[in-house]
Structure 1
Amino acid sequence: MAPQVTVLPPLEIQPQIPPLISVSSCIVLAVIYVGSLYVWSTKHNRDHPTTIKRRFASVCCVMLIAPVFVYFLSSPELLEREPFPKLIGFRLEGLWQAIVIPYLLTALLFLGPIFVNFQNESFSSYFDMDYWRGSCSNIIWIRNLVMAPLSEEFVYRACMMPLILQSFPPMTAVFITPLFFGVAHLHHIAERLSMGMELSTALLIGLFQFIYTTLFGFYSAFLFARTGHFVAPLLAHALCNHMGLPDVQDLWQQDLWRRVLAVVLYVVGLAGWIFLLPIATEPSLYSNKLYWNV
């Protein structure tokens, strides 16, 4: 009689915890993150250095709390099988690919704006040490390009995604977690109202921000699941915050041929990004066997 061969299941996260637990824990994490921004009593606006420093302290505390949720709510079998740092996207295999490839892919999406910035000579400032010294001493720059991407991606991707992935199929998880991320940005509506903005304007901007952040959340969650690395969505988030929304007014101030070329590059960048997205995020490129089936 031929010996029986035991076929092991593929190395991936399988649904192992009830959806109620994973979803409710993510809701709690989202509430804690947003609530931590308002635990301080202050008369200053969100861009005041005192407010920013206090919020830095708050989100750092949340970043210490969030992994505790993942560790104690995850399946014991999963924790026995996989190192905890790997579960939340910290590993050496495929690290340099996760740093370079998703960043270049995201830059391709901004091909048009990058061309416009190059024409305006703002691109040359990136090679000026005074620019970097000034940026690193600017607390708003640090908030937008360092602390915001770091804390948001850690809590909303590295800590929420492993929980959701234990209750839902990968692509479902990619579409669930960004909703927490988008809703978490609605608190800016109250901040705008406190600054005297009209209700209708604040709501309109808030709706647009919700749509924009949710769409980015889909992309960021996809990057995390496909690469299995925290650094991939982190760098993409920082780049998106730096580039911001395309400046249409700046585009139309270009000469005719530059304007036409810029529009072409806008389209080429978007089309190229859509085409290369599944290729550039192929899990095998990143030695990703944990979330490989996304």
Structure 2
Amino acid sequence: MENDDVNLLLTEETTGHFLLVPPDGLCWISVVSCLLLAFSFVGSLYVWKSNLPSDHPTVIKRRFTSVLIISTLSPILVWTWREVTGLRPSPSLWALMGIRFEGLVPAAVLPLLLTMLAFLGPVIQLATVCPWNFMDGIQVAFDPWSWMQCFSDMLWLRNQVVAPLTEELVFRACMLPMLLPCSSPSTAIFTCSLFFGVAHLHHVFELLRFRQGTVSGIILPAIFQFSYTAVFGAYTAFIFIRTGHLVGPVLCHSFCNYMGFPDISAALENPHCLTVLSCYMLGVLLFFLFLFPLTDPTYYGLPSPVCTLSSSHSSLCIT
């Protein structure tokens, strides 16, 4: 196979699938590019001089501007990486980043359903203390005024819209296409999750700066947050690779931000404790049972575009 425009080698195994053999130096370029993305994203939050806390509406609005600029420029870095390395696979740059129409509806529905299964316990727990009945919830969901109030709330807009969209774009859609050519999908997922977890440690400096607690009271929760965000980052990276879509990770990210970390202590004090705890266990069981079936690449247009960059065969990229 000969292609003067593409600086890569392809090998074919007995399965009939082609594997990408990365050119020399590709991994260093990819890792440095991902570091540049991560530092740019986090650094953009601090270009504004302010003595206000991070949850202040003024700070949030300024940071919206910064991260949206970085998120807009990040595909340019991926394009530059592609030009420098000479990797030009058949899928377009946008398809590699999970922005495509094929399989869009299942990509938006099935990963979110899977995530809801994982949160079955917290959802039932929330329902037992919610003052609304089912019809009240439906009415609020379709009430334009309630949505207008949400979009005027800077905290809601940050947690449910801007953060999920920009973080998934930068840390999944841009990083994974650069990591996959020089590593297995599982290694790319692990590496990507570390970038994501470390990127959230900047909150420690803000808490120390405003003296919001003791040092030990700040560091220990930070370690927990790193672990939680790294695991979550691995999950959404898994969804991105399996589905080849950005929409699933964004919606799952938004949902998880809304739910927060499960409050086990509140579940133990819930009047319906046995039911809630049973749903916790059932949800975890169903999540692992349907993890691969609901992310089967055949639902989303086989093969996943980003998997065409993989340098090794993996069950993550095939059915």
Could you say whether these structures have the same fold, taking a TM-score greater than 0.5 normalized by the shorter chain as the test? yes
Rate the CA distance shift 1:268–1:188 in 2: closer, same or farther, 3 A.
Answer: same
Helix, strand or coil: the match of 2:198? helix
Match of 1:63 in 2: 71
Deviations 1:216-243 (A, max 9, x none): 0110100000000000111110011000
Deviates more, 1:100-109 or 1:246-255: 246-255
Q: 2:127 pairs with 105, 108, 118, which one?
A: 118
Match of 2:45 in 1: 37
Distance 1:15 1:123 in 2: 56
CA apart distance, 1:136: 2.0
1:286 aligns with 2:294: no
Match of 1:183 in 2: 198
Match of 2:259 in 1: 243
Structure 1 runs not aligned, ≥5 long: 1-5
Deviations 1:78-128 (A, max 9, x none): 435221110100111111010000000000000011111111125656431
Helix, strand or coil: the match of 1:74? helix
Q: 1:157 pairs with 161, 169, 172, which one?
A: 172
Rate the CA distance shift 1:283–1:142 in 2: closer, same or farther, 3 A.
Answer: same
Q: 1:22 pairs with 20, 23, 30, which one?
A: 30
Percent identical residues: 40
Distance 2:68 2:19 in 1: 30
Distance 1:18 1:148 in 2: 30
CA apart distance, 1:64: 1.7
Match of 2:81 in 1: 73
Match of 1:46 in 2: 54
Rate the CA distance shift 1:25–1:77 in 2: closer, same or farther, 3 A.
Answer: closer
Q: 2:185 pairs with 139, 156, 170, which one?
A: 170
Match of 1:3 in 2: none
Distance 1:79 1:237 in 2: 30
Distance 2:195 2:107 in 1: 24
Match of 2:4 in 1: none
Give the number of aligned pairs: 287
**TM-score, normalised with respect to structure 2:** 0.84
Distance 1:242 1:33 in 2: 22
Distance 1:77 1:126 in 2: 52
CA apart distance, 1:134: 2.6
Match of 1:275 in 2: 289
Helix, strand or coil: the match of 1:156? helix
CA apart distance, 1:198: 1.1
Distance 1:288 1:120 in 2: 43
AA at the equivalent of 1:272: L
Distance 1:66 1:288 in 2: 26
Rate the CA distance shift 1:47–1:24 in 2: closer, same or farther, 3 A.
Answer: same
Rate the CA distance shift 1:12–1:237 in 2: closer, same or farther, 3 A.
Answer: farther
Distance 1:139 1:268 in 2: 35
Rate the CA distance shift 1:162–1:123 in 2: closer, same or farther, 3 A.
Answer: farther
Contact kept? 2:12, 2:18, Cα under 8 Å: no
Q: 2:95 pairs with 56, 64, 86, which one?
A: 86
Q: 1:195 pairs with 193, 205, 210, which one?
A: 210
CA apart distance, 1:53: 0.4
CA apart distance, 1:186: 0.5
Contact kept? 1:192, 1:202, Cα under 8 Å: yes
Rate the CA distance shift 1:80–1:228 in 2: closer, same or farther, 3 A.
Answer: closer
CA apart distance, 1:284: 1.2
Distance 2:96 2:34 in 1: 16
1:226 aligns with 2:242: yes
